[in-house]
Amino acid sequence: MRYLPNLKVAAAVAGAMLLAACGGEEQSELRQELAAMTKDLRGKVEPLPQVKSFEPVPYKGESMVDPFVPGRIVVTQAGTAGGGGGGVQPDLNRPKEPLEAFPMESIQMVGTLSQNKEMFALVKAGASLFRVKKGNYMGPNFGVITGIDEGQISVKEVVQDSGGDWVERSTSLQMPGGK
């Protein structure tokens, strides 16, 4: 038990000698060499670009109609006596034709036929092929066929606008291949 305090003192003296050995002349030479190598190395920061002065532009749209105010829509609806009246109305009571179950984008014109001076078109919807003529209906928007020629089918659809009125819209179904 007597040797334990002496052992602690001996270990402390040995540790101090090791630390003193590391801090000798070799470290000072290393520090001088490192200082000589890094004396020319300085970070170069580019100067900040000159800030351009901002010139405000006056707003001149106060007298124009604000697109976010529903004032024009209200005036237009009041002029049509409450909306929904309109001159064009689809016939909601007629029986639906098979092509009215398909969106216009999924119906494809594949050809034409002529029989007894009447022009027919062949259209593909889903996996089925249909023969249509002027006056047939197609698409979900009450589209009636108004004309058929070699390269396209002309269709007049009846849709509701934002005010609830029924309006006519013309579209066509083109034959693929640019014919």
pLDDT digits over 71-94, tens only? Answer: 555 544 444 544 455 578 888 899
CATH number 2.30.30.830 given to 98-174: yes
**Contacts of 120 by beta carbon, 8 Å cutoff, 6+ apart:** 112, 113, 114, 131, 132, 133, 148
d(CA 2, CA 18): 26
Give, as one character, the DSSP assignment of residue 26. H
**How many other C-beta atoms are found inside a 10 Å radius of the C-beta of residue 59?**
6
Mean pLDDT calculated for residue range 95-101: 93
Mean pLDDT calculated for residue range 39-43: 78
- Using an 8 Å Cβ cutoff, are 107 and 99 in contact? yes
This prediction's pTM: 0.52
Mean pLDDT calculated for residue range 96-121: 92
SS3 101: helix
Sign of the C-alpha dihedral, residues 95, 98, 104, 110? Answer: negative
